[in-house]
Amino acid sequence: MNLLMFFGGLILLVIGANTLVRGASKLAMSFGISPLVVGLTIVAFGTSAPELAVSVGAVLDGNTDIAVGNVVGSNVLNVLFILGISALIAPLVVNIQLIRQEVPIMLGASLLLLALSLDGQLSFLDGGFLFVLMLAYTAFLLVRSRSETQAAKDEFSGEFQPAQPSAWDGHWAAQIGLIAAGLVALVYGSDYLVQASVSFAKAMGVSDIVIGLTVVAAGTSMPEVATSITAAFKGERDIAVGNVVGSNTFNILGCLGLSGLVSGDLGLTIAPSILAFDIWVMLAVALACLPVFLTGREIARWEGGLFLGYYIAYVTYLILLAQQHDALQAFSGVMLGFVVPLTVVTLVVVMIRRPPIASGSQT
């Protein structure tokens, strides 16, 4: 029964997110909003709608560990798993603007979350601060869209075409209906997913945190997985990278911001295990984007394989830790004493040997 509830909730989340994005994007373009702005805001944020729905729903149900674990786990999965898989499909081109603006914003949001979490709690005021920053970030995207090149506008126009007059959802009433249906599916889907996840945690003898960091994070990241992998197959490789970076920023500012607001005076409790390990992994993953992105502005296949390998290692560590397995100490020793130092040395060597980014490049 729990499996049916989990997969049913996951299906509702995916359908709800797609329906919401379809209705909102077509309604926006019916009012003359450009496809570029729709792509930067509605579609980008729409892929994070499951994380938002699950995190807020978990807080309302009193499961703050799942809410926080979902966001932290999703951000780790987005970079290591999604970019890893996408780069294995085709080397990913990294837009120069992404390196200069979006990645620093993602890093800043990650550092801010760490700073706000050091006292073991995200208060109502902390949540409000994050949410205000999310609104400011959205406004920044809208303003920046006015200076985008024609090539960027054409690329997004190809992805998000306005509804044709003959289409069944070409009327504003149908578009509002799609938005409402998407929201309903998200609400029910998040509720089912959270309930099933709590049951899994109890049945497996692991904490809500581990379930949130792994199962729930993977489930709510399905829209990002689908979007980025599809973009990689279609050759729209900068969209594949931009989707991940934008989603990570929204997860921190939007999902945790709104979750902190709905938590009221109680705030969101940051579990000691997340504060001691997982949030640092999230920050390290965000920092790892800079040297990888800077090495020729391309995520090569071997770098994608490296990302994917690290995600497998991260999940393996969480499972071993939850079970207090005998192999935990040996596994940790190999990772910290050999794999991580070797990776750092390799990235430094690659950065030194590859040419620096040309200041005038806009690719």
Res 43: pLDDT:
64
Looking at mean pLDDT, say which of 23-32, 76-85, 164-173 comes out highest: 76-85
Per the structure block, which two tokens stand in for 241?
A: 């990278």
How far from 88 is each of 188, 219, 229, 274, 338, CA to CA, in Å? 35, 21, 10, 30, 24
Q: pLDDT averaged over the chain?
A: 79
Q: Are 285 and 294 in contact (CB under 8 A)?
A: no
| C-alpha span between 253 and 20 (Å, rounded) | 20
What confidence tens digit (pLDDT) does each residue in 118-166 have? Answer: 999 999 999 999 999 999 988 887 777 666 555 555 555 554 444 454 4
Q: Are 335 and 317 in contact (CB under 8 A)?
A: yes
Greater pLDDT, 10 or 108: 108
Res 327: pLDDT:
83
Q: How many helices (H) and strands (E) does the chain have?
A: 21, 4
Q: How far is CA 260 from the centre of its chain?
A: 18
- Positive or negative, the Cα torsion across 275, 281, 285, 287? positive
Res 113: pLDDT:
95
Query: Could you tell me if residue 286 is left (phi over 0), alpha (psi between -120 and 50 degrees) or otherwise beta?
Result: alpha
Helix, strand or coil for residue 144? helix
Give the least confident one: 57-71, 307-321, 323-337: 323-337
The candidate with the shortest Cα–Cα distance to 314, out of 288, 335, 300, is 335
Q: What is the pTM of this model?
A: 0.80
Per the structure block, which two tokens stand in for 124?
A: 């109502």
Indicate the pairing of strand 92-93 with strand 121-122: unpaired
Residues facing residue 122 across a β-bridge:
268
**E-state strands within 20-151:** 92-93, 121-122
Q: What is the mean pLDDT of residues 330-353?
A: 71
What confidence tens digit (pLDDT) does each residue in 192-251 have? Answer: 877 787 787 777 777 778 888 888 888 778 777 777 777 777 776 666 777 788 889 999
Is the pLDDT at 362 greater than 50, yes or no? no
Domains of the chain and CATH, by start: 2-163+170-353 (1.20.1420.30)
- Phi and psi at 299, nearest 5°, equal -95, 105
Give the least confident one: 36-40, 180-184, 240-244, 255-259: 36-40
